[in-house]
Structure 1
Amino acid sequence: MPLDVIQSDRAAGVLLAAAGGDALGVPYEFQPPLADGEQPEMRGGGLGPYAPGEYSDDTQMAVCIAEVSATGADLRSSDALDRIAGNFLRWRREGASDIGAQTRQVLAAVSHLTGAGIAAAMRDAAADLHRRTGRSAGNGSLMRTAPVALAYLGQPEALAEAARAVSELTHHDPLAGDACVLWCAGIRRAVLDGTFGGVREGLDLLPAQRRDQWASWLAEAECEPPVQFRPNGFVVAALQAAWSAITHTDVPDHNPARGSFACQHLERALTAAVRVGDDTDTVAAIAGALLGARWGSSAVPLPWQRIVHGWPNQRAADLIRLAVLTAQGGQTGQGGWPGCARAPRQPVAPLLLAHPHDPGVILGNLHTDVAAAGASAVVSLCRVGCDDFDDVADGNRVSAWLVDQPGANAQPHFVVDQAARMVLELRKEGHVVLLHCAAGQSRTPAVAARYTTLTTGLPAGSALAELRGLLGAHGWTVNPELRQVVEQL
């Protein structure tokens, strides 16, 4: 369904924030609750061991689904389910850093199969496991369910059918399917409306005989602190832990001058999810998908976006691409984004000017040549293509979601501040940084002005006036919203 720019930001946040929660939880998996004062860090290690920022099986399996949903396929169809099942087996062979016990048994039972009918065989193997053990309500299908929600933003009933169909590939117990339906309903509503009300809204999509029980479980999560829901390998406990972390974390006041932004709820709630202990990466990945849907990719801290990565060679931009394509039914937007090799260029001249207070920060646009700028890092404030600035190392290319249109940004203060602080961090690491947007006329000077105030203490008004003088000949046109944002920070 058509999405406005803020809804697109929220759709883009679903896989990105899930991966961020996953990578944040990785170092603490199957550990006791974090001690008071201990702050989770995306430091890697864990059961992998993982590199800093590397996500685990939770996001790896979600990518297996998203690779299919991003084509616009109906995930209820036998062909789409076969492709998802085939991706699960490819993941098992090529990239699985960890596999849950239940999923491992199901995939092993069909590992010799390929092609048409593989999903039915996988579903049968899951049912057989349930008949033999009576236990198939682990959290392994809930952790990966987020792409399903994005594929059916305008079709709640179809969403429920697809969520259950994808869950049943490995998890036969209807409780696992119920949890996926509820969480997908929550993600759908969060993307569309920016609220968390969809989780309870999803109760109407469950079989009538289980609605009251699930309503009770949700109420319990809303009443009890997150740490009460451990161990959390059981799908109900995992959902409760994630929901409790979200609902028990206060939304900060919006006070940019004091560095307080409402969207920091995302980071704080993910921290709360990890602090629970036990299956930390999974609970945080589950929570992250809903938090990303509510707050958007623009709320995911840029230091996380810079380092988050995982199988199969996915980084932040790739996760955003899969999510947005899924939400758009597999269709690209204007200029072929996301997924285009190079973003469309505006009819402006290349810009290459040194920041007035730091010659190691180069102000540019999409026409700027990185080699000519001498840059080893890039901070992008506009949409970029897959091959734009590809001569810069992946970990030194950071993109902020910032739209040069008043009213089109969910949290412009946070993004401008994050972008300026990312430039500062890269400079501390010794990089020459190219800071750019599409034309270099609005977003670039806005973030450059914020960088000035951070590094020199110059008042925002003076910093903007200084940049107006520097960029006036290049078409200075900072939009009123961004000018106000810089002045309020």
Structure 2
Amino acid sequence: MAESQLASLASRFRGCLIGALVGDCFGEPFEFLGRVTLESVKTFVHHVEADKSKKDTKILHYTDDTEMRLSIEASLLKHKGFNAEDMANRFAKEYFASKIDRNYGAHVTKIFSDWSSKHMEDVFLPASQQFNGTGSYGNGGGMRIAPAALFMYKENSHKLKELSDKITRLTHTHKLGILGAYLQALAVHLALNTAESPFPTDKFLQELTESMIYHEEETFGKYSQKPPSDSLKLYSQKLNAIKEFLARSDVEKKELVKTLGHDVTALGSIPISIYAFLRALSEINGLEGRNPYERTIMYAISLGGDTDTIATMAGAIAGAYWGEEAIPQKWQKNCEGLSVTQKHADNLYDYVKKH
């Protein structure tokens, strides 16, 4: 697919969810490895792309990022919108039924246990009681939120935030966790709705920054809950840092990670996922011959840290803009969950067309 061409909307729906799936599956083997380099990522990708018989092909398993994303898609489609009890039940059911370790965090599985062992009149309660009542500010909301952006394709950002907040609050109730998930949802939503080529980076960042400034002022002015003491920046400030980094040609990984993060917090992973997508719009040394989607995934993983979640979020944004055609077939076919992801993307597209 030529970089100057824009994919059809149906392709972009597929691209978003398949893009997220591939990022999750490709990123998982590198999660929190001591040292991840672009060369090690390239070696891994070359192995995936090598001609092999089906017998020898190793399917890459997805993590909790995709398992929870699939449940969100199924629930939104069944109820034509958000249904808290159904979505919670799907999260817990998939977790307890899975025979594969999906790398769930202990705090999330405690919520699943509470849902399953107690008669919960309020499914939001267990998450709100965690961490002495502040709730989690992890990236669990952002990692799974892409289908909300597809479902709300025709709606404005305020309606998108309403849905994103509800989905996130099932497991993450800290304001930074909720705001981060919305930032990721908005990034996907804007990419999906962008009809310009080349991609309008400045406009995209401006819209994200303005929205974050508005919601951060509203949130931290109204609530007593403040960012953790070791967090020097909010999302709007990190978005400004992204703009500065993109204007430079000499940014090293160490500086990126120090400023944007690459950990399991929402504040420490969602901004760098957005940066990876935007940085990959241009050529990257060592990735010559790769298209922007491929560069996004490989570069995101090379940044290290929580690689599966960072790559799944970056992949969702890139796929929403570039479409399914930009994702190599060999990459797709090596990922567990491809067929159900394709089906959900098509069903979400059909739903949006009719409503």
- Structure-2-length-normalised TM-score: 0.77
Corresponding residue for residue 191 of structure 2? 190
SS of match in other structure, 1:62: helix
Count of residue pairs brought into register by the alignment: 304
What does residue range 31-110 of structure 1 map to in structure 2 within 5 Å?
31-35=33-37, 37-40=39-42, 41=44, 52-71=59-78, 73-75=80-82, 80-95=83-98, 97-110=102-115
- The question of 1:163 aligning with 2:154 is answered no
Q: Deviations over 1:403-431 (max 9, x none)?
A: xxxxxxxxxxxxxxxxxxxxxxxxxxxxx
Q: Deviations over 1:145-203 (max 9, x none)?
A: 11111111111221110100100000010111111112111211211224562534643
Corresponding residue for residue 336 of structure 1? none
1:175, 1:327 → 2: CA distance?
Answer: 30
**Greater RCO (CA < 8 Å, at least 6 residues apart):** 2
Mind listing any 5+ residue stretches in structure 2 that lack a counterpart?
1-5, 49-57, 221-232, 246-252
> Which amino acid letter does the alignment assign opposite residue 322 of structure 2?
W
What does residue range 467-478 of structure 1 map to in structure 2 within 5 Å?
none
> Which amino acid letter does the alignment assign opposite residue 108 of structure 1?
S
The 3 A distance-change label for structure 1 pair 32 and 66 is: same
Q: Deviations over 1:2-23 (max 9, x none)?
A: xx97122111111100010011
Q: Deviations over 1:95-146 (max 9, x none)?
A: 25221132122222222257xxx5x6331001111335x4610111110111
The 3 A distance-change label for structure 1 pair 200 and 102 is: same
- The question of 1:152 aligning with 2:152 is answered yes
1:326, 1:217 → 2: CA distance?
Answer: 32
Note if contact 1:15-1:292 (Cα within 8 Å) is conserved in structure 2. yes
Corresponding residue for residue 225 of structure 2? none
Question: In the TM superposition, what is the alpha-carbon distance from 1:222 to its structure 2 partner?
Answer: 3.8
The 3 A distance-change label for structure 1 pair 299 and 8 is: same
1:52, 1:124 → 2: CA distance?
Answer: 37
Note if contact 1:122-1:170 (Cα within 8 Å) is conserved in structure 2. no
Note if contact 1:12-1:324 (Cα within 8 Å) is conserved in structure 2. yes
The 3 A distance-change label for structure 1 pair 129 and 247 is: same
Question: In the TM superposition, what is the alpha-carbon distance from 1:332 to its structure 2 partner?
Answer: 8.2
Whose radius of gyration is greater, 1 or 2? 1
Question: In the TM superposition, what is the alpha-carbon distance from 1:331 to its structure 2 partner?
Answer: 7.0
Question: In the TM superposition, what is the alpha-carbon distance from 1:207 to its structure 2 partner?
Answer: 4.9
Question: In the TM superposition, what is the alpha-carbon distance from 1:205 to its structure 2 partner?
Answer: 6.7
CA RMSD of aligned residues (A): 3.0
Question: In the TM superposition, what is the alpha-carbon distance from 1:272 to its structure 2 partner?
Answer: 1.2
Corresponding residue for residue 55 of structure 2? none
SS of match in other structure, 1:181: helix
SS of match in other structure, 2:26: helix
Task: Name the structure where strand makes up a greater proportion of residues.
Answer: 1
2:304, 2:7 → 1: CA distance?
Answer: 36
Q: Deviations over 1:426-453 (max 9, x none)?
A: xxxxxxxxxxxxxxxxxxxxxxxxxxxx
1:240, 1:147 → 2: CA distance?
Answer: 19
Question: In the TM superposition, what is the alpha-carbon distance from 1:231 to its structure 2 partner?
Answer: 4.5
SS of match in other structure, 2:116: coil
Corresponding residue for residue 278 of structure 1? 305
What does residue range 129-148 of structure 1 map to in structure 2 within 5 Å?
129-132=130-133, 134=134, 136-148=136-148
1:71, 1:21 → 2: CA distance?
Answer: 26
Question: In the TM superposition, what is the alpha-carbon distance from 1:232 to its structure 2 partner?
Answer: 1.1
1:54, 1:73 → 2: CA distance?
Answer: 29
- The question of 1:235 aligning with 2:266 is answered yes
2:208, 2:35 → 1: CA distance?
Answer: 26
The 3 A distance-change label for structure 1 pair 331 and 248 is: closer
Question: In the TM superposition, what is the alpha-carbon distance from 1:321 to its structure 2 partner?
Answer: 1.9
Task: Name the structure where helix makes up a greater proportion of residues.
Answer: 2
The 3 A distance-change label for structure 1 pair 244 and 192 is: closer
Q: Deviations over 1:8-64 (max 9, x none)?
A: 2111111100010011111111113423532242679xxxxxx53221111111001
> Which amino acid letter does the alignment assign opposite residue 102 of structure 2?
S
2:152, 2:79 → 1: CA distance?
Answer: 10
Corresponding residue for residue 11 of structure 1? 13
Mind listing any 5+ residue stretches in structure 1 that lack a counterpart?
45-50, 254-258, 334-489
SS of match in other structure, 2:8: helix
1:101, 1:293 → 2: CA distance?
Answer: 31
